[in-house]
Amino acid sequence: METYKLRVNGEAKEVTVDPGTPLLWVLREDLKMTGTKYGCGIAACGACTVHLGGVATRSCVVPVSLVGDRPIVTIEGIGEDPVGRAVQKAWVSEDVVQCGYCQSGQIMSAVALLKSAPKPTESNIEESMGGNLCRCATYVRIREAIKIAAQQMS
Amino acid sequence: MAAATQIANDLHLSRRGFLRVSATAAGGLLVSLYLDLPLAAQEGAATKAKVYPPDAFVHIKPDGKIIIQVNRLEFGQGVQTSLPMILADEMDADWSQVVAELAPAADVYRDPVYGIQMVGGSGSIAHSFQQYRELGARTRAMLVAAAAQKWNVAPEQCRTESSVVHGPGGQSAKYAELADAASHLPVPETVTLKTAAEFRLIGKGTRRLDSSPKCDGSMKFGLDLDLPGMKIAVVARPPVFGASPKSFDDKAARSVPGVVDVFEIPVGGKGRGVAVIADKFWTAKQARDRLRIDWDFSGVERADSSQLREKYKTLAETPGNVAVARGDDKAIDGVSASNRILAEYEFPYLAHTPMEPLNTTIRFDGDHAEVWAGSQFQTFDGAAIAQVLGLKPEQVTFHTEMAGGGFGRRAVPDSHVQREAAAIAKHFTGTPVKLVWPREDDVRGGYYRPMHAHRVEIGIGADGMPVAWRHVVVGQSIMAGTPFAAFTVKDGVDETAVEGIIDTHYDLPNFHLSAHHPAVNVPVLWFRSVGHTHTAFVMETLIDELAVRANADPIAYRRKLLKPDAKKLHRALDLMEQKSASWRAKLPAGHAVGIACHESFETGVACAVDVSIENNRPKIHRVTVAVDAGIAVNPLTIESQFQGGVSFGVSQLMAKGAITLKDGYVEQSNFDTYTPPYIMDAPTAVDVHIVPSSEKPSGCGEPPVPVISPAVANALSRLTGKRYRNLPLVEV
């Protein structure tokens, strides 16, 4: 067991856990922040996507010991960010969600996309969102919502 | 589960069940549905304080909020919005004040057709439309009666709008103000429902009520449940279905800090596994992976996909149990070889893999258990838990949790997940335990859409139309051995294996359909759209092949072959043809159109797809889909179900879209080896068109799925000249 100081959504947190524990499970079980989801545990579905040091990251494969001093932003905090807010708003206005389980990860990936490409092309979208699985397959509306968020940002 | 509409009529919720109203301690009105109890029990019940829920459908609170109970699981299909819409419309409720809640398990929330509390067979709106309308209309009538009494006017002189009753003299009263008075009035025996022209919500595209919490991380799914003192359980299940541990060494597992206990439990339909209980999921999973188990495989059949393929192919060469024998089944022998098609198809096992891994939480207190589960099958699952824990069903409180997808996987007749959870909870009196199936367990855990083979011989007449059709289906029965078998297995044919063929709307003369249902040691289950997943692929690729051979337009050919009374399919086909005409007329080079139409769950669907080949895979640029589902309660949800559903249907085309077994072991384990469609695999655009209708609503959850894979295969055939008969689509 080791103690780690983390910065999550701007707040200082401290956890004492096994160093190999993935960040996902530290968030969900130690910090009780369950908005970040477990879908596969092998970085194949993107449900666990968070921003680590500003980069969209699959938290299920990042041991907490490797987080270091990089700030963590999760779905619970992304609404504080103007891009995050625009994406969440577009997701609601386009009625994107069905079961909704993957959407935390979809939104975190979409925010990262719009931060790097404010006017994304279809291929930008497919590249950035290409690792986020949605079993309800809400992909058509995800594309639309990203475009609407981009319009509203510009 | 088309045939499931007949299920369990003996359990049918009595139409004599009646409504009762009551006041709540905090004020407000409860409208509850009571079952047909003996009169004395009713009288007794009237004097008791009401517990809210489990018997109320509507609760008008003093602050004007209207809480509506949803009598089935929400797992993406949108009932948490569309069922309240129906009730709120008849009630003339202010939609902005409506709050939807998932009802717990209780008799009053049973599906009015199936007689058990469940979601399946695309029955949510189809079965509860009338029920929710009547509930809304009765509630409104009582509020109007209370207002009329207050103003000393006739109820007929009052009108309602947006949670307000207006009187003839300009009086007005909010529903919340009338709720207490209404709660002392009798429930009207009969009410007049609105005409379609009077609907204010039904038919109007309405955004989901559950979007915001699903976009900001605040929605709690079953897996997110956190209770004081809760433990997490993960189970090592046998690597071959039905095996059991000979012995196991748990020393390393127990040495992981946080592990609470390790013990053997029964798993699945048979066999045993080893449960590891810890304070956290990660701890439990790490410890499970350190178990050393010596498995006993004696007497356990080791299923093997390649052997099964050979076996099924051979079986298909002889007729099975006869489902339909119409006309002369020897007619095909009179057709010359050049005018015959012989087609052999293969379909693999498919795993549902809903995004939220399977889980169930139980707290067992000795004489009572509390359960939290995203269940499609509350009645069965609650009873199974009660049985394992030695309780009566009424000693189990069952909370329906929001579920992250399901596609059939959360409706399992043997309730194996809940039985495992109960077997574990039994060891921990007073401590809640959450059983979690990691993704690998889900992919390898069975309960798949069965593997199938089809063999079809078609004789073609001089006009290019079929003159004889001989069809053999081979696959495990999903219904055999379940409580549903009595209604769905007839003369040795599981109707769910042949649905979509047995009831085809094409006019096929000299038609012979039969089925073999071999027993295989792989647990199987319905999967979104059930038999139609494979039967629509076979039917619609063959019809397309016939159209190509006849040099006919694929839409015109279908229209000609469809029976005139297949009205929903004709309407869907017409609308799809019209809406896709402009893009079909100007396709870029290297693109082709694929057509398919199919009726399932009483909903007619037709689609046109625009496909090219990129990186040796189909690229689906566009889908135009038309649907006749009767009255469209929430067109926005129907659009959403069809946009998502056709993309879900692409699953079985994916190169890694199969579950296979070798020597009894499942060869896939996670999304890297069993890969559903990602954004680039799904259609880029899907435009959905709804046939205007005043007929009763039919299902929309499953009907989108069957059409897409044959439509894409038909487009590919036009590009490559090849016919595609084996799924998944490993090569184009």
pLDDT tens, residue by residue, A33-84: 999 999 999 999 999 999 999 999 999 999 999 999 999 999 999 999 999 9
Angle among Cα B225, B226, B229 to the nearest 5 degrees reads 140
Domain with residue B265: its CATH number is 3.30.365.10
d(C-alpha B18, C-alpha B581), whole Å: 51
Does the residue B726 lie in any domain?
no
ipTM: 0.98
d(C-alpha B31, C-alpha B134), whole Å: 12
Task: Judge whether A123 is closer than 8 Å to chain B, CB to CB.
Answer: no
First to last CA, chain B: 32
On whether both A82 and A147 belong to a single domain, the answer is yes
On whether both B105 and B245 belong to a single domain, the answer is no
On whether both A6 and A69 belong to a single domain, the answer is yes
Average pLDDT taken over every residue of chain A:
98
Q: What is the C-alpha R_g of chain A?
A: 15
Written as one letter, the residue type at A128 is: S
Task: Name the percent of chain B lying above pLDDT 90.
Answer: 87
Which residues in A lie closer than 8 A to residue B403 (C-beta atoms)? 99
Residues 22-41 of chain A with CB under 8 A from chain B are: 22, 25, 28-30, 32-41
State residue B112's pLDDT score: 87
Min Cα separation B189/chain A (Å): 38
On whether both B344 and B386 belong to a single domain, the answer is no
On whether both A84 and A149 belong to a single domain, the answer is yes
On whether both B139 and B168 belong to a single domain, the answer is yes
d(C-alpha B265, C-alpha B275), whole Å: 7
Is the pLDDT at B13 greater than 80? The verdict is: no
On whether both B382 and B482 belong to a single domain, the answer is no
Task: Judge whether A101 is closer than 8 Å to chain B, CB to CB.
Answer: yes
User: Are B152 and B132 spatial neighbours (Cβ–Cβ below 8 Å)?
Assistant: no
On whether both A144 and A83 belong to a single domain, the answer is yes
Is the pLDDT at B670 greater than 50? The verdict is: yes
State residue B594's pLDDT score: 98
State residue B115's pLDDT score: 87
At B107, is the pLDDT very low, low, confident or very high (cuts 50, 70, 90)? confident
On whether both A144 and A103 belong to a single domain, the answer is yes
Query: Between chains, do B405 and A99 touch, taking CB under 8 Å as contact?
Result: yes
At B184, is the pLDDT very low, low, confident or very high (cuts 50, 70, 90)? confident
Query: Between chains, do B676 and A96 touch, taking CB under 8 Å as contact?
Result: no
Written as one letter, the residue type at B272 is: R
Min Cα separation A3/chain B (Å): 15
On whether both B137 and B82 belong to a single domain, the answer is yes
Does the residue B304 lie in any domain?
no
Query: What would the pLDDT profile of B30-89 be if each residue is shown by its tens digit?
Result: 776 543 333 333 333 333 333 334 458 898 988 999 999 999 999 999 999 999 999 999
Find all residues with CB under 8 Å of B582, minimum gap 6, and list them: none
Which residues in A lie closer than 8 A to residue B636 (C-beta atoms)? 95
On whether both B422 and B461 belong to a single domain, the answer is no
On whether both B582 and B692 belong to a single domain, the answer is yes
Nearest CA in chain B to A79: B216
Tell me, what DSSP letter sits at residue A30?
I
On whether both A49 and A111 belong to a single domain, the answer is no
Written as one letter, the residue type at B500 is: G
d(C-alpha B478, C-alpha B494), whole Å: 8
At B189, is the pLDDT very low, low, confident or very high (cuts 50, 70, 90)? confident
On whether both B658 and B692 belong to a single domain, the answer is yes
Does the residue B498 lie in any domain?
yes
User: Are B351 and B462 spatial neighbours (Cβ–Cβ below 8 Å)?
Assistant: no
Query: What would the pLDDT profile of B322-367 be if each residue is shown by its tens digit?
Result: 999 999 988 999 999 999 999 999 999 999 999 999 999 999 999 9
Q: Which of B121-125, B288-292, B470-474, B589-593 has the lowest mean pLDDT?
A: B121-125
Nearest CA in chain B to A40: B439
Nearest CA in chain B to A122: B684
**Number of domains comprising chain B:** 3
Query: Between chains, do B207 and A92 touch, taking CB under 8 Å as contact?
Result: yes
On whether both B202 and B155 belong to a single domain, the answer is yes
Residue from the list B402, B645, B679 with its beta carbon closest to the beta carbon of A129:
B679
Among A73, A91, A112, where does a domain finish?
Answer: A73
- The 10 Å Cβ neighbour count of residue B498 is 24
Strand arrangement, sheet containing B452-460: B321-326, B511-516, B466-475, B452-460, B340-347
At B9, is the pLDDT very low, low, confident or very high (cuts 50, 70, 90)? very low
For range B520-534, the mean pLDDT: 98
On whether both A37 and A83 belong to a single domain, the answer is no
Dihedral pair phi/psi, residue B52, rounded to 5°: -115, 130
Which residues in B lie closer than 8 A to residue A142 (C-beta atoms)? 679
Question: Quick one: B48 exposed, middle or buried, by C-beta within 10 A (0-12, 13-18, 19+)?
Answer: exposed
Task: Judge whether A132 is closer than 8 Å to chain B, CB to CB.
Answer: yes
Helices A103-116, A82-93: axis angle to 10 degrees equals: 130
Min Cα separation A100/chain B (Å): 5
On whether both B8 and B95 belong to a single domain, the answer is yes
Query: Between chains, do B219 and A100 touch, taking CB under 8 Å as contact?
Result: yes
Residue from the list A30, A45, A100 with its beta carbon closest to the beta carbon of B214:
A100
Q: Could you list the residue range(s) of the whole structural domain that residue A149 is in?
A: 78-153
On whether both A132 and A105 belong to a single domain, the answer is yes
From the DSSP assignment, how many helices (H) and strands (E) are in chain B? 18, 30
Nearest Cα to Cα of residue B559 among B420, B477, B465: B465
**Number of domains comprising chain A:** 2
Among A54, A73, A92, where does a domain finish?
Answer: A73
Is the pLDDT at A15 greater than 50? The verdict is: yes
On whether both A149 and A94 belong to a single domain, the answer is yes
Domain with residue A8: its CATH number is 3.10.20.30
Among B392, B411, B436, where does a domain finish?
Answer: B436
Which residues in A lie closer than 8 A to residue B679 (C-beta atoms)? 125-126, 129-130, 132, 134, 139, 142-143
Q: Give the best residue of B77, B79, B216, B621 to mutate against chain A (max A CB count within 10 A).
A: B216
Query: Between chains, do A101 and B207 touch, taking CB under 8 Å as contact?
Result: no
Task: Name the percent of chain B lying above pLDDT 70.
Answer: 93
d(C-alpha A129, C-alpha A121), whole Å: 12
Which residues in B lie closer than 8 A to residue A100 (C-beta atoms)? 76, 210-211, 214-215, 219, 402, 404
Does the residue B17 lie in any domain?
yes
At B519, is the pLDDT very low, low, confident or very high (cuts 50, 70, 90)? very high
Query: Between chains, do A130 and B405 touch, taking CB under 8 Å as contact?
Result: no
Is the pLDDT at B16 greater than 90? The verdict is: no
Among A24, A51, A73, where does a domain finish?
Answer: A73
d(C-alpha B10, C-alpha B36), whole Å: 14
d(C-alpha A25, C-alpha A48), whole Å: 10
CA distances from B687 to B126, B575, B627, B682 (A): 23, 12, 11, 13
Average pLDDT taken over every residue of chain B:
92
Query: Between chains, do A95 and B215 touch, taking CB under 8 Å as contact?
Result: no
Min Cα separation A129/chain B (Å): 7
Residue from the list A38, A97, A135 with its beta carbon closest to the beta carbon of B214:
A97
Measured in whole angstroms, the distance separating CA B63 from the mean position of its chain's CA atoms is: 36
Domain with residue A108: its CATH number is 1.10.150.120
Query: Between chains, do B404 and A37 touch, taking CB under 8 Å as contact?
Result: yes
On whether both A140 and A84 belong to a single domain, the answer is yes
On whether both A7 and A57 belong to a single domain, the answer is yes
At B17, is the pLDDT very low, low, confident or very high (cuts 50, 70, 90)? very low
Q: Could you list the residue range(s) of the whole structural domain that residue B403 is in?
A: 222-298+358-436
Does the residue B730 lie in any domain?
no
- Two tokens, residue B533: 């997943």
Task: Judge whether A140 is closer than 8 Å to chain B, CB to CB.
Answer: yes
Is the pLDDT at B11 greater than 50? The verdict is: no
d(C-alpha B44, C-alpha A2), whole Å: 60
Residue from the list A47, A93, A95 with its beta carbon closest to the beta carbon of B640:
A95
On whether both B538 and B429 belong to a single domain, the answer is no
Nearest CA in chain B to A127: B680
On whether both B241 and B105 belong to a single domain, the answer is no
On whether both A35 and A55 belong to a single domain, the answer is yes
Does the residue B616 lie in any domain?
yes
Which residues in B lie closer than 8 A to residue A96 (C-beta atoms)? 211, 215
